[in-house]
Amino acid sequence: MLEEKASSTPKPREITTRPRVSDKIFRAVIFTGALSSLVILAAIAIFLGARGFEILAREGLSFITGYEWYSSINADGTSGDDPSVYGIGAMLIGTIVIAFIAIAIGVPISIAAALYLNFYAPNIIRGFLVGVIDLMAAFPSILFGLWGFNILMPSGEYWAKLLHKYLGWIPLFDVSTPFFSRSPFIAGLVLSIMIIPIVTSIAREVFSQTPLDRIQAAYALGATKWTMIRAVVLPFGYSGVVGGAMLGLGRAMGETVAVFTVLNIVFQANFQILLGAGGNVASMIILKFGEASAEEIKALMAAGLMLFLLTLIVNMLADLLVSRTVKQGR
């Protein structure tokens, strides 16, 4: 070999260990268990894809862009005259509209709450409030649905009327008929409350990673609490908070029961958010599932696949943003 005479620096030795049999078994078992997430996520995509393939292949792109959902086959197997059409465009738009209403309302509140908990709250109150917000994260969604329908909706309707009265000239707040109950706005309102715990806890964690020396440097330069937050905390936490908001967005897009409870589900793309008609993919699946024919069920599986992929992408992006900020602080 050439190297042998050329260099006097020794090559690093390779250290090999031969694990004991017990360790080999242990590692194999644990590794198998650890693969479960990969297996399950892949299985979800494969099974929903396989069941929905027929519909996806037939409808093509219009499954996503089409506004019409019509099944000509009845549950009893009899067939109608017109051919079936499956398009979830209207519901996808509804999903996005409602989720954005939720983060538009929920995220500012969550940021305020996180700033309060980190920088304003006295110690005793902080512990208590953190507990309350964590508890809220454990509330099941049907609880929010029931509460939203019975308690929040009357107020929400009143607020919607106020919005319409004073801001009705903006197309978003206009309504074609004065029907304010069970609107996307109210669904978004309920969802905004449901995402407050997760967005708050992520924003709180991100803000708490702000390096102390930067905070002190700002104070030593005569900063007030607010100018310190604006110059140090918000730039540091920015991408983490955006990630937290996206996690909230993912939650809001996938939420089913709470939306179904408060929303008047109508199969149309509705940009008049105060008008009591709308829908999202998840609540549509629940609505159609009960009386669906075999063919329509396949279409619903395809819709479920779309929802899965949409939330997966949003969540992955969110996770990247959050972990980047949290690491940067360490």
Query: Contacts with another protein in 64-103 (CB under 8 A)?
Result: none
- Closest to another protein by CB, 192 vs 272, is 192
CA–CA gap between residue 226 and residue 217 (Å, rounded): 14
* Interface region with another protein, contact rule CB under 8 A, candidates 5-13, 55-63, 76-84, 142-150: 142-150
Min. distance of Cβ 129 from another protein in angstroms? 6
- Closest to another protein by CB, 79 vs 227, is 227
235 binds another protein (CB under 8 A): yes
Return the bridge partners of 85, or none.
70
CB 106 within 8 A of CB 248: yes
Contacts of 298 (CB under 8 A, 6+ apart): 51, 52, 54, 55
Strands 85-86 and 69-70: antiparallel
CA–CA gap between residue 3 and residue 109 (Å, rounded): 66
Binder to another protein among 158, 291, 324, 327 (CB under 8 A)? 158
CA–CA gap between residue 242 and residue 194 (Å, rounded): 17
Return the bridge partners of 73, or none.
79
Give the three-class secondary structure for 69. Answer: strand
- Closest to another protein by CB, 48 vs 273, is 48
CA–CA gap between residue 157 and residue 44 (Å, rounded): 38
How many C-beta atoms lie closer than 10 Å to residue 310's C-beta? Answer: 18
Give the three-class secondary structure for 79. Answer: strand
34 binds another protein (CB under 8 A): yes
Binder to another protein among 57, 75, 132, 167 (CB under 8 A)? 132
- Closest to another protein by CB, 81 vs 314, is 314
Residue 278 φ/ψ, nearest 5 degrees: 170, -165
CA–CA gap between residue 273 and residue 94 (Å, rounded): 9
Binder to another protein among 60, 80, 108, 178 (CB under 8 A)? 108
Min. distance of Cβ 64 from another protein in angstroms? 17
- Closest to another protein by CB, 95 vs 272, is 95
Binder to another protein among 64, 242, 286, 326 (CB under 8 A)? 286
16 binds another protein (CB under 8 A): no
Give the three-class secondary structure for 90. Answer: helix
CA–CA gap between residue 46 and residue 208 (Å, rounded): 40
Binder to another protein among 135, 167, 291, 324 (CB under 8 A)? 135
How many C-beta atoms lie closer than 10 Å to residue 281's C-beta? Answer: 25
167 binds another protein (CB under 8 A): no
Binder to another protein among 97, 255, 272, 276 (CB under 8 A)? 255
Min. distance of Cβ 107 from another protein in angstroms? 11
Min. distance of Cβ 58 from another protein in angstroms? 18
Min. distance of Cβ 127 from another protein in angstroms? 11
* Interface region with another protein, contact rule CB under 8 A, candidates 65-73, 179-187, 243-251, 266-274: 243-251
319 binds another protein (CB under 8 A): yes
32 binds another protein (CB under 8 A): yes
Burial of 22 (0-12, 13-18, 19+ CB in 10 A): exposed
* Interface region with another protein, contact rule CB under 8 A, candidates 55-63, 69-77, 84-92, 298-306: 298-306
